[in-house]
Amino acid sequence: METILSLNNLTKRFGKVTAVDNLSFSIEKGNVYGILGPNGSGKSTTLGMVLNVVNKTSGDFKWFNGKLSTHEALKKVGAIIEHPNFYPYMTAEQNLALVCKIKGTNRDKIHEKLEIVGLLDRKDSKFKTFSLGMKQRLAIASALLNDPEILILDEPTNGLDPQGIHQIREIIRKIAAGGTTILLASHLLDEVEKVCSHVVIIRKGVKLYSGPVDEIINSHGFFELKASDMQRLEELLKDHPKIGKITDKEGLLTAFLDDPMDAEEINRYLFEKGLSLSYLIKRRESLEEQFLQLTNQTSSN
C-alpha cells in the first residue's frame, strides 16, 4: 500500500504546554481516517504542522515517502483548517482562480468543483456575502481543485446548522466513495463513525489508539439480559468464567465478556441451570462508549 503521510515522533510545545507529544502514525492511500479527540487535544496543531503553518518542535513528518518538499507536496493535497479563509472582496470564482494559480493547476475545474458543492449559481458573489455553510462549501471546492491525493478536513461541520452539517457530510461521503483518501479531524464521534474506516484517537497530544474503527478497544462486547428472577440471574452470571463485570441498569443486567462467547452459549448455560430469559441481546460498544472508555481508562491511570 502507498503511504501518503507518515508522522514520526512529532512534537509541538507552546512554552511549557506540550500540545502534541511524540505522535506517530501513517496514512495509507484509499482509506478514510478520522483524528478524534476532545477540544484542545492537539488535532489542529498536528494538522497545522504537516500543513506547513505551525513549526514543529521536534520529530519528523514525511509526505509521499519524502519524495517532495513540503510545499511541493501540499500542491497535491487539499486541506481546510478550522474556518474557511478567502479574500472577502473577491468572488467565489476569483478566489478559486487564485488558488489554481498557487497550486499551479488548470482553471477549467473551477465550475465542476463549484457544481459539486452546489455553489455554481453563486460563483459571482463576493466571498464576504456568503453564509458560514457556503463559505465552508467553497473551502471544500477549493480543496478539491487539484483533484488531491488526500483531502484534509479539520472540523468541517463546526458551527453549522443541521442542514449545513448534512450537506457537508453528503459531500464528504460522495468524495470518499470516489476513492479519495480523507483525513478528518473532529470531536464529533458520530461524524467519524459514519464516514471513517480508520481512526487515530489523541488526548492531550498523546496518541491513545490508531487503527481500524471497529477494533478500538480489546472488547468482546456485552450481553444485556432480563429474567423474572433477577437475583438468581446475577448469581448465575457471576459464576460463569467468561463473564467479568456485571452492572444493573434500569432493570436490565449488563454483563461484560472477558472471553468471546455468543448468545447461544449463555442462553444454553442459563437454561441448563433452570433459568429462562425474557430478554437477551449481545452488543458491542458504540464508538462513543468505546471512546469514553478509552479516554477514561487513561485518565484514571
Partner 1 sequence: MLRLLEIEYNKLRYSRSARILIITYFILITFIALIASIEFNIGTIEFRVADQGIFNFPYIWHFNSYIAAILKLFLAIVIVSMMSNEYSNRTIKQNLIDGLSKKEFILSKFLTVLVFSGISTIFLFIVSLILGYSFSDFTEFSIVFSDLEYLLAYFIKLTGFFAFCMFLGILVKRSAFALGFLIVWFIFEGILYAVLNFKVFKGTDIATNIMQFFPLESMSNLVVEPFSRLNAVQTAATQIGGELTKDYGIHWYQLLIVIVWTIIFIYSSLVLLRKRDL
Which residues of this protein are in contact with partner 1, per CB under 8 A? 14, 48, 51-55, 69-75, 77, 79, 81, 83, 85-91, 94, 97-99, 101-104, 142
Helices 263-272 and 230-239: angle between axes, nearest 10 degrees: 110
Tally Cβ neighbours within 10 Å of residue 88: 11
Q: How far is the CB of 176 from partner 1 (least distance, A)?
A: 21
Which of 94/125 has CB closer to partner 1? 94
Q: How far is the CB of 117 from partner 1 (least distance, A)?
A: 17
Q: How far is the CB of 46 from partner 1 (least distance, A)?
A: 13
Q: What are phi and psi of 261, to 5 degrees?
A: -160, 140
User: Using CA atoms, how far apart are residues 56 and 67, in angstroms rounded to an integer?
Assistant: 20
DSSP assignment of 46-105 equals HHHHHTTSS--SEEEEEEGGGTS-HHHHHTTEEEE-SS----TTSBHHHHHHHHHHHHT-
Which of 89/279 has CB closer to partner 1? 89
Which of 55/278 has CB closer to partner 1? 55
Read off the DSSP letter of residue 222. E
Q: How far is the CB of 86 from partner 1 (least distance, A)?
A: 7
Half-sphere exposure of 100 (CA within 13 A, CB side): 16
Half-sphere exposure of 176 (CA within 13 A, CB side): 21
Which of 142/290 has CB closer to partner 1? 142
Which of 24/91 has CB closer to partner 1? 91
Q: How far is the CB of 149 from partner 1 (least distance, A)?
A: 12
Alpha helices in the chain (DSSP H): 43-50, 70-74, 92-103, 110-116, 132-144, 162-177, 189-195, 230-239, 263-272, 287-300
Q: How far is the CB of 20 from partner 1 (least distance, A)?
A: 12
Q: How far is the CB of 79 from partner 1 (least distance, A)?
A: 5
Which of 66/88 has CB closer to partner 1? 88
Which of 34/148 has CB closer to partner 1? 148
User: Using CA atoms, how far apart are residues 220 and 260, in angstroms rounded to an integer?
Assistant: 5
Q: How far is the CB of 143 from partner 1 (least distance, A)?
A: 9
Which of 90/230 has CB closer to partner 1? 90
Strands 252-257 and 243-249: antiparallel
Note the Cα 79 to chain centre separation in Å: 15
- 3-class SS of residue 111: helix
